[in-house]
Amino acid sequence: MEPTKIAFLGLGLMGSGMAGRLLAAGCPLTVYNRTATKAQPLVEQGARLAVSPAEAVTDAEIIFSMLADDQVCREIWMGGEGALAAAKPKAVLVECSTVTVEWIQELDQAAQARDLELIDAPVTGSKVQAQTGQLLFLAGGSAATLVSIAPVLRTMGRDVVHLGPTGSGARMKLINNFVCGVQAAALAEAIAMIARSGLDSEKAIGIMTEGAPGSPLVKALSARMKAREYQPNFLLRLMAKDLRYAIQEGAHQSLNLATAGAALRVFEQAIAEGHGEKDMAAVIEQFRQ
């Protein structure tokens, strides 16, 4: 792959793994993170650390963002020393964060005003998939622009799906995550019901994971719930955020996402009990008291 100057904004559980894949592919990479110490492993691998979003993107041809929510994205792109004003004309912005469609539309309008192109490309997968290059990119925006950056995306993912115009990727990601959140909340209640009823948990959980309910997510979460292994792969508080965003998007489509609302209440209770910074599997702990 020909060297392409890339900036990466946000080095959390997902961003750090994705940036590491870019470095391994030989991409000239500048990184920015609000907590600069998180960038040190990448700096040791050859990344350049910028002190602000603006500095990070000055010479970049492609700018990736993988951040927590709308508020943080707006700060990094449009706040003091934000990336948007410093990006050079014709640069491609790739918003990988799980955010609202409204934010994508706002960023798209601001990008067009500065002769920049936006692709919204959130991903499916979590920490392990980010580290191993097995993410699936859900992309919205210009098909031609997406083709031009596809080689870079494929250093981080197993595939890229073009879903339509700008905002399509963000919308699909919210639908995907709302279904995941509902599954996680239902699984937590089911395992608690198994435990309280006196059923053999090994047999009962095995029936679920190997039967019709046994999605890859259910299999992975049931193992973590059983072991009480909550080192973050996907932060619990971020799943709650995604459910809120999905409910908001459903309302725009005149849909009351009742199951998402029920799941959100379960996740909010887990946060209230102090589990927000743990893996989303910790949603079960509220039922173990």
Confidence of residue 184 (pLDDT cuts 50, 70, 90): very high
pLDDT tens readout for residues 236-267: 999 999 999 999 999 999 999 999 999 999 99
Per-residue confidence (pLDDT) for residue 3, from 0 to 100: 79
Map out the domains of the chain as residue ranges.
6-165, 171-287
Q: What percent of the chain has pLDDT over 90?
A: 99
Q: What is the pLDDT of residues 205-244, one digit of tens each?
A: 999 999 999 999 999 999 999 999 999 999 999 999 999 9
Average pLDDT over residues 162-186: 98
Alpha-carbon span 32 to 55, nearest angstrom: 9
pLDDT tens across 23-77, in order?
999 999 999 999 999 999 999 999 999 999 999 999 999 999 999 999 999 999 9
Q: Smallest Cα–Cα separation from 153: which of 55, 127, 145? A: 145
Write the pLDDT tens digit of every residue in 91-146: 999 999 999 999 999 999 999 999 999 999 999 999 999 999 999 999 999 999 99
Q: What is the DSSP annotation of 199-257? A: --HHHHHHHHHHSTT--HHHHHHHHHHHHT--S-SSBHHHHHHHHHHHHHHHHHTT---
Asked whether the predicted pLDDT for residue 289 surpasses 80, the reply is no
Q: What is the pLDDT of residue 2?
A: 56
Cα–Cα distances in Å, from 102 out to 43, 78, 108, 249?
34, 15, 10, 9
Angle value at C-alpha 42, between 39 and 44, nearest 5 degrees: 110
Quick one: average pLDDT of 153-168? 98
For the CA atoms of 8, 13, 182, 193, the dihedral, rounded to the nearest 10 degrees, stands at 180
The pLDDT assigned to 285 comes to 98
Residues 6+ apart with CB under 8 A from 193: none
Q: Do domains 6-165 and 171-287 have the same CATH topology?
A: no
* pLDDT of res. 1: 46
CATH among 3.90.1150.10, 3.40.50.720, 3.10.28.10, 3.20.20.70 for 6-165:
3.40.50.720
Residue 159 has pLDDT above 80, yes or no: yes
When the candidates are 3.40.1280.10, 2.60.40.10, 3.40.1190.20, 1.10.1040.10, the CATH number that belongs to 171-287 is: 1.10.1040.10
- pLDDT, tens only, 42-56: 999 999 999 999 999
For the segment 266-282, the average pLDDT, to the nearest whole number, is 98
